[in-house]
Amino acid sequence: MLKAKIAVFVSGGGTNLQAIIDSEKRGELQHCELSLVVSSKPGAYATVRAKENNIPFVEINIKDFQDRKDFENEVLKKLHEYNIDIIVFAGFMYILSAEFVSEYENRIINVHPALIPSFCGDGFYGLKVHKAVLDYGVKITGATVHYVNSITDGGKIILQKAIEVHDNDTPVSLQQRVMCEAEWVILPQACELVAQQIIESRNNIK
């Protein structure tokens, strides 16, 4: 069966990338395959994960380009070279332009470490999200996978998973549990859902 090709965009350790790799190894990704890893940071450990699993990867450092347009054009060039169907933001610390996003409308997904529409938008990333959750005193948090559009964390929700906030949680402990119990569960599931829709749409056109 023809599968949708996925590119995972990373900037750091690649733990969410690893969750997708593990899901693929378990045979859970029936409609998609990991075809490329794009790192915005040279030497990011995520590229080591890609290399160890024989996944092609490229390092495209925005600092090497005079303006964002040139950077995004280089990224698009690589995506076209590998015939990428779906882009997955997995700890990718860079906001792409609306023009770029429009090239892959409803084909870019992102995982956010909270239950959108809470604790999301500009400035809510990494440990800042979990600190805000604890400061506010909410009892339930979680993760959300959503489509990417021109608004930060503003795209349509694909999947969510909730977890309890413990009384003794710190931002670090909460971050770890949200990743293990929510992000790593629903991100691969969302990849499969989006890929299935793309494949079924292609079959209907035929």
Please report which confidence band the pLDDT of residue 75 belongs to, taking 50, 70 and 90 as the band edges.
very high
For 127-158, how does the pLDDT look when each residue is reduced to its tens digit (9 = 90+)?
Answer: 999 999 999 999 999 999 999 998 889 999 99
31 is an active site residue? no
Q: What is the mean pLDDT of residues 80-100?
A: 92
Q: What is the pLDDT of residue 15?
A: 95
Q: What is the pLDDT of residue 95?
A: 82
Q: Is the pLDDT assigned to residue 22 strictly greater than 90?
A: yes
Please report which confidence band the pLDDT of residue 50 belongs to, taking 50, 70 and 90 as the band edges.
very high
Q: What is the mean pLDDT of residues 161-184?
A: 97
Q: Is the pLDDT assigned to residue 115 strictly greater than 70?
A: yes
Q: What is the pLDDT of residue 206?
A: 57
What residue ranges define each of the domains in the chain, with the CATH number in brackets?
4-205 (3.40.50.170)
Strand order across the 108-112 sheet: 57-59, 32-39, 4-10, 86-89, 108-112, 140-147, 157-164
Q: How far apart are CA 1 and CA 102, in angstroms?
A: 28
Q: What is the mean pLDDT of residues 107-126?
A: 95
pTM as predicted: 0.94
Q: Is the pLDDT assigned to residue 205 strictly greater than 70?
A: no
Q: What percent of the chain stands above pLDDT 90?
A: 83
Please report which confidence band the pLDDT of residue 204 belongs to, taking 50, 70 and 90 as the band edges.
confident
- For residues 3 and 81, the answer to whether their CB atoms sit within 8 Å is no
Preceding omega of 117 cis (within 30 degrees of 0): yes
Please report which confidence band the pLDDT of residue 174 belongs to, taking 50, 70 and 90 as the band edges.
very high
Active-site choice (112, 130, 146, 166): 112
Residue that wins the pLDDT comparison between 96 and 147: 147
